[in-house]
């Protein structure tokens, strides 16, 4: 490492084709004075993960002793290794009024619209919490915020209210991205159309910046080389998985081209792989400080996605959430699927929730595996995970499922269950915004913050 040589915090690797890639925080980055270095702490990231169709208490609440988390329940086992990084908040309520459209649209904001339309007299309220934060901290990063969602499926796929949790204002949602490749191109500055002619593929974004990376690697310490190598290996791993999944999709599509339309490029048919790729994009965005604010709808509200790929599960997610009716003949059903008992259907509903818990645990483990400063990327994050209903069958807006992962840069001491009976969920948002150095006195008419420390 060259003595007294430093680079700016916002340094990018650059390729000959114009591709630019952010890199993680390195020791060689300015400032280097003792006083300045003490201030150069990793930034705080905020994420909001939305789980639709409600979560019964049985599939959410962990076992607790003296307020401390002791054991995850049967359906939350994927979170067991992360227990000391999680904080549960119980007793919260909202004003969804049993409305699926209102539940999605106002998860991060009040008031709840009536019916299934936004009108001048009854809109979704102010900008959503994430966008209030993005307006302030977004000036420090290439992208103010990142809004992700899986590709909608079913009869409500075009519903504006059911498909958006991030809002610029009372009537305008922030466009969300459903394609992991598009997110990747946005983060790396790469892009361009692929051509199937001769199986020619767009060059890897990583390949285009490797020369710049090698030059940087020669001038940094062994510790920084390790960080850089770890980051580049992670990027390569994501690119490789994208390539494998894309090729599998092309092969399968060609085989059934005569009878089935070719699936959209780069979106895996394996739903778990799809979710994990989307989570990988958030990890890369946080790691490179491309953004500090991200939202991800794990599915649209009232989704009619089939989960028959989970063993012993059949039917659509929304239909399963109405577990008390097993006839398969209600307006929520497809007219073909029925169940033998409430117990059977209820268990299938919980298995779908468990499936999503598993994918979220993957994301949190990825953050926790990346060293940053004196801790990990998860330590310097504040990830909200929850659902707008306590039980999909009842559409209950009391005792909402809410979890916060990460230590928020030391502001949160996790591993606990906090009881706030009857408190509005927006009170938690006020506290989260305060942690992000975005003091807001009220949101949706709520001015009482809820402690999460």
Render pLDDT for 393-442 as a digit per residue (tens, 0 to 9). 988 888 999 999 999 999 999 999 999 999 999 999 999 999 999 988 88
Torsion, Cα of 230, 233, 238, 241 (10° steps): -140
Do the Cβ atoms of 208 and 197 come closer than 8 Å? no
Q: What is the pLDDT of residue 243?
A: 67
Q: Whole-angstrom Cα distance, residue 452 to residue 417?
A: 10
> Which residues does 329 contact at the CB level (< 8 Å), separation at least 6?
335, 338
Ranges of beta strands (E only) in 257-338 are 293-297
Token pair of 81 as six digits: 């290794």
The answer to whether the beta carbons of residues 336 and 368 sit under 8 Å apart is no
Could you say which residues of the chain have pLDDT below 50? 1-2, 34-35, 38, 119-122, 193-202, 249-250, 252-264
pLDDT at 265: 62
Domains of the chain: 1-40+182-266 (no CATH), 47-178+292-311+348-453 (3.40.720)
**Dihedrals phi, psi of 119, to nearest 5 degrees:** -120, 165
Q: What pLDDT does 21 receive?
A: 67
Left (φ > 0), alpha (ψ -120 to 50) or beta: where does 175 sit?
beta
Neighbours of 330 (CB within 10 A): 11
Burial classification of residue 435, based on how many CB atoms lie within 10 Å of its CB (0-12 exposed, 13-18 middle, 19 or more buried): middle
SS3 406: coil
Residue with tokens 């067991």: 80
Token readout for 115 is 């019916």
Strands 381-386 and 402-405: antiparallel
Looking at residue 185, its pLDDT comes to: 82
Name the β-bridge partners of 45.
Answer: 381
What is residue 263's predicted lDDT score, i.e. its pLDDT? 33
| Cα–Cα nearest to 71, from 62, 84, 59, 60 | 62
The residues, any chain, with a CB within 8 Å of residue 446's CB and separated by 6 or more, are: 110, 424, 426, 427, 430
Residue listed under structure tokens 């699927």: 337
Cβ atoms < 10 Å from Cβ of 180: 25
């Amino acid at each position: 490492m060259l003595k007294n040589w430093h680079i700016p915090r916002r340094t990018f690797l650059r390729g000959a084709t114009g591709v630019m890639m952010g890199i993680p925080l390195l020791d060689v980055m300015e400032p280097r004075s003792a006083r300045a270095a003490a201030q150069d702490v990793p930034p705080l990231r905020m994420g909001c993960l939305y789980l639709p169709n409600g979560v019964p208490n049985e599939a959410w609440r962990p076992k607790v002793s003296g307020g401390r988390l002791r054991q995850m329940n049967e359906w939350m086992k994927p979170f067991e290794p992360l227990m000391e990084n999680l904080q549960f908040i119980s007793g919260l309520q909202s004003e969804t009024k049993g409305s699926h459209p209102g539940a999605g649209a106002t998860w991060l904001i009040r008031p709840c619209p009536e019916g299934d339309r936004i009108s001048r007299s009854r809109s979704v309220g102010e900008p959503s919490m994430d966008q209030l934060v993005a307006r302030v901290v977004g000036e420090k990063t290439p992208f103010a915020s990142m809004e992700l969602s899986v590709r909608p499926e079913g009869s409500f796929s075009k519903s504006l209210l059911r498909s958006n949790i991030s809002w610029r204002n009372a009537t305008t949602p922030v466009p969300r991205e459903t394609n992991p490749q598009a997110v990747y191109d946005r983060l790396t500055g790469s892009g361009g159309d692929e051509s199937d002619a001769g199986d020619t593929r767009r060059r890897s974004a990583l390949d285009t910046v490797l020369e710049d990376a090698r030059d940087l690697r020669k001038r940094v310490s062994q510790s920084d080389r390790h960080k850089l190598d770890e980051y580049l290996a992670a990027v390569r791993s994501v690119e490789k998985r994208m390539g494998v999944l894309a090729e599998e999709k092309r092969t399968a599509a060609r085989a059934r081209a005569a009878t089935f339309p070719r699936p959209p490029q780069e979106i895996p048919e394996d739903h778990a792989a799809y979710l994990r790729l989307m989570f990988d994009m958030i990890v890369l965005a946080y790691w490179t400080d491309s953004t500090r604010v991200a939202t991800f709808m794990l599915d649209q509200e009232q989704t009619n996605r089939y989960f028959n790929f989970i063993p012993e599960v059949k039917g659509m997610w929304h239909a399963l959430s109405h577990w008390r009716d097993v006839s398969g003949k209600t307006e929520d059903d497809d007219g073909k699927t029925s169940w033998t008992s409430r117990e059977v259907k209820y268990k299938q509903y919980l298995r779908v929730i468990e499936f999503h818990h598993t994918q979220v645990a993957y994301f949190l483990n990825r953050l926790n595996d990346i060293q940053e400063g004196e801790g990990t990327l998860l330590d310097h994050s504040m990830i909200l995970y929850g659902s707008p209903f306590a039980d999909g069958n009842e559409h209950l807006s009391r005792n909402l499922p809410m979890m916060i992962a990460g230590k928020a840069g030391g502001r949160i001491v996790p591993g606990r269950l906090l009881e706030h009976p009857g408190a509005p969920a927006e009170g938690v948002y006020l506290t989260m915004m305060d942690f992000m150095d975005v003091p807001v006195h009220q949101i949706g008419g709520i001015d009482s913050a809820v402690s999460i420390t």
